[in-house]
Amino acid sequence: MSTSHDHGADAPADDRLLATFAEQLDHPLDHFQITANTALVEGRSVLVAAPTGAGKTVVGEFALWLALQHGRKAFYTTPIKALSNQKYGDLKAVHGAQNVGLLTGDNVINGEAPIVVMTTEVLRNMLYESSSTLQGLSHVVLDEVHYLGDRSRGAVWEEVIVQLPPAVSVAALSATVSNAEEFGAWMAEVRGGCDVVISEVRPVPLEHHYAINEQLYPVFRKGSKGAGGKKADSDDQAAARQARGGKPNPEILMMERRAGQRNRVTRKGRRVSSGQRLRYPRRSDLIRMLADRRWLPAITFIFSRQGCDDAVDQVIRSGVELTTDKERSKIRQVIDRRTTDLAPEDLEVLGYGPWAYALEKGVAAHHAGMVPAFKETVEELFAAGLVKMVYATETLALGINMPARTVVIERLEKWNGQRHELLTPGQFTQLTGRAGRRGKDKLGHAVVCYQRDVEFPVVAGLVGRRTERLVSRFAPSYNMAVNLLRRPPPSAPGRTRVDDAVDLLEQSFAQFQADAQSGGQGAEIQKNLQALEGYAKHLHSDRGDFAEYWAIRKEISRIESSAAKNRRARRSTAIENAIDALTPGDVIVLDGGRRGSTRLAAVVALSNSKSGTPLATVVTDDRRSSRVGPREFDRPPVSVGRVRLPADGGHRQPAFRKRVQRLLFDVTPAGDGRGEDVPVEDATARQVAELRERMKAHPVHSDPELPEIAVWARRHDELEETTNRLERNLRRRTTTLVTRFNLIVELLQELDYLDDEPTPTGHGLRLAGLYSETDLVLAECLRWGVFDGLSAPELAALVSIFTFESRSPEPQPAHIPTRLLDERVDTVETHLQRIVDLETQFGLPATRDLDAGLAAVVYRWARGADLDTALGTADLTPGDFVRSVKMVADLVRQIREAADGDVARTAAEANRSLVRGVVAY
């Protein structure tokens, strides 16, 4: 493996092929592009890690062009269908329709062309099936290869990289990651060599700004003055230095400091209002600021689909208008062309009127909740410079070609499904990478809006850190297992298909990372073992057997520690029971308070946490309300009196708390409010006493050197415990993948998907063609006739429960439209539970729950309903509807290929009924 870091220097291109390719481009090749392309010319694979917008795609396009020059085939893979569709259009314009094909599962166009664009999953499936389309393949481009770190889909990239024929050159294109060399080293190992080309240079330098109080400030301090008072940095140099980070702008730090003085409370309790008030700019004002600076077009990232739509409504209502009459005419033409095939009644459901009106004003939203026709219209208008401000979710940052002059990030925190989390440096870089259009802008601009709950130094720190580590998510699945085991038998004597499958697992990036980490841990273990030998030399007493004596002391410590743990558990149970026994009106004593070391509190309500822990809502004698639980007590609380709570109001109301406080002043506590502590168990006390007698009677106990020997013994025990833990971790890391694979094989043999050899049975070959998170449950349902006798709409609806996952955190009631379908859903759930029970028995992760929440919608759509009727009252955006139905259609196609007879015919009919209208666009 060779690694090249690009810092912007130019290098000549000597190779004739490279020079011929470069002549076709609008701008000269950058140094990193020349380096990467040279590796491809010389027949090697290459990993290119560079910032968004740096021009990585040129390397991929050269790989395709190179294959054509040699009369061979090339594949261009992308992580999502939208990117594949976009890339297909781009390449068709360059190489001609006859030379470019598209394979995305639901789209097959010219599949045997010399250049084929596809999703990575399609290529993975072709490799497993030994597709004839692979013949003549010389180059594969893996765009956005850092998707390998995606939790749900990352394994696909590793399967492709490991299984591609050795003669194929891979051009892997990645965003900047901190461990590109490690990833490249793995690729070099499994691909027989790989050059790593890393570029930190953006073709268009990026300036970072902070929007606060309707002003824009640079995030970092401006360049210092040079000799003679001249400015040391050019604008480009200053922007490049900003991109690397620097000292946070002291002017903003001072503003925050002054703002912190507002509403200050003095020692005497007086509130002082002084200092500067900080505000985030209104969206309409920010647009005008950007327009005045000629920083449009811009993308504003908002991590909420509804937030994007609301932002468009807000700026349109505020009177923002960014287009001329001539531009509005062009916009109307594009809208008409893009929506001409959609039915008028569907357009009404999609909110066509307000959407088109906002577009004519130069403003739009872009998110996954929109149908493809609307999204692609926005993309075309933005690329043409007709739409000037787009409010988008982060999905826009995943490869869609929509560069802007400016990127705005309204909030640096996003909801992860459970809580709000700060963006990672990688996510921030991905978003701001859209700023700066090559060939159009001298500078790109990234604007972060002021946020009250994120301090400016945090913002500056996030801007200054650029990358994060790529971590493998690879893990074997049921489908992967049968596909690996259906390959031709090994040619080497004595080897089995399982041996070959294990070899492939051990070539994964996951195993490579585990081995690398294990190598460091192995060295640490060896170092510790040598140290333990040294410690052991000091564990000797002239008075007797030190090991025997030390074992007694360790046993005493073990019993006392265990007893303390048990006592804490019993105390916790006693405290929970005591809280549970309280009733509203009881007065209890809490530790801490302004009137002394304790304070009185009246219980006003009782509840339980999500885990079932009893909690008491109380009002204290200093007029505060809080919820207290076991953590607030060191002993079980007992009632020291009672008060008659007010009949009206509640603890959230100041008047209610004031009345309770007055009642507490009249309470004279009966006792200190502390119940009896949990006693030490007699058996434990006797056992410890007996061991202590044995310890004192042991001859080593009287050794004058004992304190020093004990120091060495404690060091030995601590290091031994650490070493044992390292060894356990090492064993787990080095065996996890193979162990899981072997367990999967055993479970599949139990269910007759694999025979004793093991090779796939007929059932196993059917499972090999089902690519789904719930593949085994689906295969079982096909096997046991769950899809038999269903109509096409019923089959489509039943398939939806295998693909759909509700965005709602709480399970939603599902309407099942027919009695037969309802029975089959119950049958599927029975098969799922049987599989989960087996997975538990074999120690495997449980298959996820199935969701029937989309069944009624899919049933209506498959019966021919229009969009409005199909959606009904479902909490589903049109974009989610289209994407969800396409996923159902994709799995229905797989069932059509895997099944036979009536089920195959019904699946074919179901697929035709699904792929129509807005879904077929």
- 22-59 tens-digit pLDDT: 888 888 888 899 999 999 999 999 999 988 778 889 99
- pLDDT band, residue 254 (cuts 50/70/90): confident
Task: Determine the Cα–Cα distance for residues 757 and 762; give it in Å rounded to an integer.
Answer: 14
* CA separation for the pair 178, 358 (Å, rounded): 41
The residue-averaged pLDDT of 719-732 equals 74
- 715 or 427: which leads in pLDDT: 715
pLDDT at 560: 83
Could you report how far apart the first and last alpha carbons of the chain are, in Å? 45
* pLDDT of the residue at 503: 83
Segment 580-599 shows an average pLDDT of 77
Of 429-433, 554-558, 642-646, 882-886, the range with the lowest mean pLDDT is 429-433
Beta carbons within 8 Å of 896's beta carbon, 6+ residues apart = 904, 907, 908, 911
Task: Indicate whether 225 pLDDT > 60.
Answer: no
CA distance 123 to 822: 36
pLDDT tens readout for residues 271-306? 444 456 777 788 999 999 999 999 999 999 998 888
CA distances from 391 to 305, 364, 792 (A): 9, 6, 39
Percent of the chain with pLDDT over 70: 88
Q: Write the DSSP assignment of 752-777 as a string of letters.
A: TSB-SS--B-HHHHHHHT--STTHHH
**pLDDT tens-digit profile of 643-691?**
999 888 888 788 898 899 989 988 888 877 777 777 767 778 888 889 9
Cα within 13 Å of Cα(631), Cβ side: 5
More confidently predicted of 421 and 480: 480
Element spanning 172, H or E: strand 169-174
Mean pLDDT of 827-833: 93
What would the mean pLDDT of 565-578 be, rounded to a whole number?
A: 86
Look at residue 222 in the predicted model and tell me its pLDDT.
Answer: 61
Between 771 and 265, the more confident residue is 771
Q: What is the 3-state secondary structure (H, E, C) of 408-475?
A: EECCCEEECCCCEEECCHHHHHHHHCCECCCCCCCCEEEEEECCCCCCHHHHHHHHHCCCCCCCCCCC
Per-residue pLDDT, averaged over 561-572, amounts to 83
The C-alpha atoms of residue 587 and residue 602 are separated, in whole angstroms, by 5
Pairing of strands 586-591, 444-449: unpaired
Gap between the Cα atoms of 510 and 736, Å rounded: 10
pLDDT at 775: 94
Token couple for 254: 């001072």
pLDDT class of 2 with cuts at 50, 70, 90: low
In terms of C-beta density within 10 A (0-12 exposed, 13-18 middle, 19 or more buried), how is residue 330 classed?
A: middle
User: 232: pLDDT confidence band, cut at 50, 70 and 90?
Assistant: very low
- In angstroms, the CA 588 to CA 603 distance is 8
List the single range of 13-17, 627-631, 643-647 with lowest mean pLDDT: 13-17
792 vs 202, which has greater pLDDT? 792
Instruction: Say if residue 237's pLDDT is above 50.
Output: no
Please indicate whether residue 82 or residue 28 has the higher confidence score (pLDDT). Answer: 28
pLDDT tens column, 386-408: 999 999 987 765 556 677 899 99
pLDDT computed for residue 171 by the predictor: 95
Q: What is the mean pLDDT of residues 797-805?
A: 93
782 pLDDT band (50/70/90 cuts)? Answer: very high
Q: Output phi, psi for 685, to 5 deg.
A: -60, -40
Mean pLDDT score of the chain: 84
Q: What is the pLDDT of residue 267?
A: 45
Q: DSSP letter at 248?
A: B
Q: Which of 119-128, 172-181, 243-252, 425-434 has the lowest mean pLDDT?
A: 243-252
Single-letter amino acid code for the residue at 390: V
pLDDT confidence of 240, banded at 50, 70, 90?
A: very low
Q: Judge whether 798 and 824 are in contact, CB under 8 Å.
A: yes
Instruction: With H, G, I as helix, E, B as strand and everything else as coil, classify residue 710.
Output: helix
Rounded to whole angstroms, the Cα distance separating 592 from 204 reads 59
Residue 96 — very low, low, confident or very high, per pLDDT cuts 50/70/90? very high
**CA 87/CA 116 separation, integer angstroms:** 10
Question: Band of the pLDDT at 259, cuts 50, 70, 90?
Answer: low
Q: Supply the pLDDT for residue 808.
A: 65
Looking at mean pLDDT, say which of 178-182, 199-203, 334-338, 625-629 comes out highest. 334-338
What backbone torsions phi and psi does residue 74 show, to the nearest 5 degrees? Answer: -140, 145
Does residue 810 register a pLDDT over 80? no
